[in-house]
Amino acid sequence: MAPRPIVWSLGIAGITGLLALNHANNLALDTKEEAALAVARPERPAGNLGERRSLTISADDRGQYIVHPSIDNYRVRMMVDTGASVVALIDSDARALGVKPDRSAYNYSLGTANGVVRGARIRLREIRLGDILVRDVDAVVLPAGVLGVSLLGTSFLRKLSGYEVQGGRMVLRG
């Protein structure tokens, strides 16, 4: 028995719809990082050049705040995490910065959503995000595979004059 034209047409329409959704999702994934770069913009207050700087960051589709600060003159992709007590560098970012702790240095315990992880404590000379510059920031290097992205935690955030999150935007004040 040959397939009925209506069943065949519905099947083709369904496949076409799925392909269109997949293509749209791939386009959205490709532009997420570009969008995060475009929305992180410095706001300069009028008047005295000595005034504090601020930076407004919009949340991505998942509600995460992705930034690309310069750490010791190396650009790193990071997620701002107000729940992380320290800046956490994934192994590949640390190595790109020239930081390669030996095994014995991984003696700092960190509680995460996935359990306890051991990291190597370090101090970063400076982190620059837009016009905001923070010096001498405590950080930790995590073993390979623990996180997918480095975290900009409160060891950086508490050195700011303030920060707030409201309406899908985070404002950092230098």
Domain of 119, CATH number, reads 2.40.70.10
Residue 114 has a pLDDT of 77
The residue range of the domain holding 52 is 40-173
pLDDT > 90: percent of the chain: 64
Q: Judge whether 12 lies within some domain.
A: no
Residues in contact with 59: Cβ distance below 8 Å, sequence separation at least 6, in sequence order: 65, 168, 169, 170
Strand spans (E) along 25-161: 41-43, 54-58, 66-67, 70-71, 74-75, 78-80, 87-89, 106-112, 115-129, 132-141, 150-152
The answer to the question of residue 65 being in a domain is yes
Instruction: Flag whether 140 is in a domain.
Output: yes
Q: Model pTM greater than 0.85?
A: no
Tell me, yes or no, whether 10 lies in a domain.
no
Q: Specify whether the CB–CB gap between 52 and 174 falls below 8 A.
A: yes
- pLDDT band for position 51 (cuts 50, 70, 90): low
How far apart CA 84 and CA 151 sit, in angstroms, is: 7
Above 70 in pLDDT, residue 145?
Answer: yes
The mean per-residue pLDDT over the stretch 50-69 comes to 90
What pLDDT is attached to residue 81?
Answer: 96
Is residue 115 included in any domain, yes or no? yes
Domains identified in the chain, total number: 1
Residue 157 resides in a domain: yes
pLDDT, one tens digit per residue, over 83-97 is 999 999 999 999 999
Q: What pLDDT sits at residue 3?
A: 52
Confidence bin at 113 (pLDDT 50/70/90): confident
